[in-house]
Amino acid sequence: MKYLCQVFFEPSALEAMSAEEKRQLDRDSLAYDRQLIESGHMIAAQALQHPKTAVTVRVRNGETAMTDGPFAETKEQLGGFILIDAKDLNDAVRVAAGIPLARMGAIEVRPIYAIPVEM
pLDDT of residue 74: 47
Q: Where are the domains of the chain?
A: 49-113
pLDDT per residue, tens digit, the chain (119 aa), is 556 657 777 777 888 989 999 888 888 888 888 888 888 888 888 877 877 788 889 999 999 998 887 655 544 556 567 788 888 888 888 888 887 677 667 788 888 887 888 76
Between the alpha carbon of residue 92 and those of residues 45, 49, 60, the distances in Å are 19, 15, 18
Nearest CA to 106 out of 96, 115, 114, 116 is that of: 96
pLDDT of residue 85: 83
Query: Cα–Cα distance between 110 and 51 in angstroms, integer?
Result: 7
Q: Residue 97 in contact with residue 57, Cβ under 8 Å?
A: yes
